[in-house]
A and B are shown apart, each in its own frame.
Chain A
Amino acid sequence: MCGIIGLMAKKEELRQSLGELVLPMFDCMAERGPDSAGLAVFAPAVEPPLRRFSLFSDRDGYDWNGLARSLEADLGCSARIVTRDNHAEVVAAVGDDPFRGWLRRRGNGVRVLAVGHSIELFKDVGRPDEVARRYGFSALRGTHCVGHTRMATESQVSPAHAHPFTAGEDFCLVHNGSLSNPYSLRRLLEEENLEFETDNDSEAACRFLQWRMRKGDTIEQALGSAFEKIDGFYTFLIGTAKQMVLVRDPFACKPAVVAETDDYVAISSEFRSLAHLPGVAEANIFEPLPEQIYVWRVAA
């Protein structure tokens, strides 16, 4: 199993309470995925060259402030840091590659969960409702968010194996299903010098799509080649800075339900996690068709 959820707020006031709205959706999907959970929220963009870096450390009580100070000292930039439990967000005027290079040299086991101007990402092992409370999901604000509750079927349960997976900047993917050919995808991508963080099949799909987009594909074109190259069962929900994208495999093996109103677009594996949403009784509720690409764009 596994549960996926997505919520895009079309109006400013809902963006202020995005976390509160999504929390019951998330809690409900704990039944589909009780072993780990994650959420990516697309918050107001920081001005380039600033970037948001979502970081994770396995060590409890990690000295995040010390990390920020040495980042400032080593790379000569100012760094703003917000910490919560095993997670921290650093905002600094530094590129993705220099940041990762610096982190590797420092060798302290801190991992980058996400990079971009908008994306904030939290994921960890544990019951989804506990993960949500530990990382304060209810206070999150933003235009849209993409979340996942995991029931591991093919690779280990660890914070790194939790979804969402990310690749590049402001790009993430959650997956319900299992892929048959993740290793041939990996071999294809490793020849392109892409590096993987885990042996998880969903990471392969995430990196494949983002690689296609880096080559110039639109998300629709990238998914078109995914239909050719990716074999297996999937409902993918993808978040980018300006879009939320949903697809199901050609057999529609894994579920998804969409409820859309003038105020929001809400996506979940099951309707019951949408049942609490305001105005859902009048919402346009539909089941996405197999092999169709559904794209919602953030309204200005």
Chain B
Amino acid sequence: MKSVQLDLSAISVRELNDYLHHELIAEGPRVVDILKPNGMHNIAVGLDCPVEVHVRGNAGYFIGGMNKQAHITVYGNVGWSVAENIMSGSVRVKGSASECTAASGHGGLVVIEGDSSSRCGISMKGCDIVVGGSVGHMSGFMAQAGNLLVCGDAGAHLGDSLYEAVIYVRGRIQSLGADAREEPMTKADYAKVGELLKRAGFELSSKEFKRVASARALYHWNAEAHQEY
């Protein structure tokens, strides 16, 4: 497979993304190495072709945002909103992620091998997120569809105002958010956890995970609740 190296100390992020959006597609699938990312924002956003992208270092905000088809690996940490609104393909972070991982993600797989901080999976709409470490507070906030699997611990208010996304946690849950509840694991859940672990490449037993889902009490307006939930 043809491969190309692009050095962000020599070209701008705008030039890089322009290449990934146009020339790369014209030249056919290949492997792209992005060097010296130095925490810059918006690296490899809006990709729409089956390419393998390796980001060799720490990236900033929105890395891999709106991704379609591409498989992006970051060999470092990432800032806020990695893989925001991901549609398909995958984004893997070898280090840790800051806030709002895969916010609003519609599809595809996001793997954070380290920790992912506050609001991981906020408003996710169908993507799958696997976190090797722990997630920060308010993770899974208003998550609508898809799965968030946490191999470590979960911070406070997990799954607050959840819709139909399902959260699996292996470690300790500091507290559950409004309308989130722990539910018994079914056969289908064990199968789903096993599948997610396999896709993420983590060798853990699905037996160790708990399921958190919506109690659906907030789906309908309750005038007698006096805003207390």
Docked complex Cα distance between A270 and B79 (Å): 8
Q: Tell me which residues across on chain A come within 8 A of B60, comparing CB atoms.
A: 270-272
- A8 interface contact, C-beta 8 A: no
A272 in contact with B38 given A255-B98, A255-B99 (CB within 8 Å): yes
**Which of the 9-residue segments A44-52, A84-92, A181-189, A282-290 touches chain B?**
A282-290
A289 in contact with B79 given A272-B39, A272-B60 (CB within 8 Å): no
State which of B39, B117, B118, B136 has its C-beta within 8 Å of the C-beta of A270: B39
8 Å CB interface, B33-88 against A: 38-41, 58, 60-61, 77, 79-80
Chain A 257-300 per-residue mask, 1 if CB under 8 angstroms from chain B, else 0: 10000000000001111111000000001010110000000000
With most chain B CB atoms within 10 A of its CB, the pick from A274, A276, A287, A290 is A287
A252 in contact with B41 given A270-B79, A272-B60, A289-B136 (CB within 8 Å): no
| 7 CB < 8 A contacts A-B | A251-B118, A251-B137, A251-B138, A252-B99, A272-B38, A272-B40, A274-B39
Number of A-B contacts (CB under 8 A): 43
Q: Tell me which residues across on chain A come within 8 A of B39, comparing CB atoms.
A: 270-275
Check B40–A255 contact: CB distance below 8 A.
Answer: no
Where chain A touches its partner, the secondary structure class is loop
Check A287–B40 contact: CB distance below 8 A.
Answer: no
Chain B 84-123 per-residue mask, 1 if CB under 8 angstroms from chain A, else 0: 0000000000001011000000000000000001100000
Check B99–A275 contact: CB distance below 8 A.
Answer: no
The chain A residues found within 8 Å of chain B, CB to CB, are: 251-252, 255, 257, 270-276, 285, 287, 289-290
- Range class of the B interface residue count: 10 to 19
State which of B38, B40, B58, B137 has its C-beta within 8 Å of the C-beta of A252: B137
Q: Tell me which residues across on chain B come within 8 A of A289, comparing CB atoms.
A: 136
Q: Tell me which residues across on chain B come within 8 A of A270, comparing CB atoms.
A: 39, 60-61, 79
Docked complex Cα distance between A171 and B98 (Å): 30
Check A271–B77 contact: CB distance below 8 A.
Answer: yes
User: Which residue in chain A gives the minimum CB-CB distance to B39?
Assistant: A272
Docked complex Cα distance between A276 and B39 (Å): 10
Q: Tell me which residues across on chain B come within 8 A of A276, comparing CB atoms.
A: 38
Docked complex Cα distance between A274 and B61 (Å): 14
User: Which residue in chain B gives the minimum CB-CB distance to A248?
Assistant: B118
Q: Tell me which residues across on chain A come within 8 A of B136, comparing CB atoms.
A: 252, 289-290
Q: Tell me which residues across on chain B come within 8 A of A275, comparing CB atoms.
A: 38-39, 58
8 Å CB interface, B118-136 against A: 118, 136
Min Cβ gap B154→A in Å is 14
Check B137–A255 contact: CB distance below 8 A.
Answer: no
Q: Tell me which residues across on chain B come within 8 A of A271, comparing CB atoms.
A: 39, 58, 60, 77, 79
Q: Tell me which residues across on chain A come within 8 A of B99, comparing CB atoms.
A: 252, 255, 287
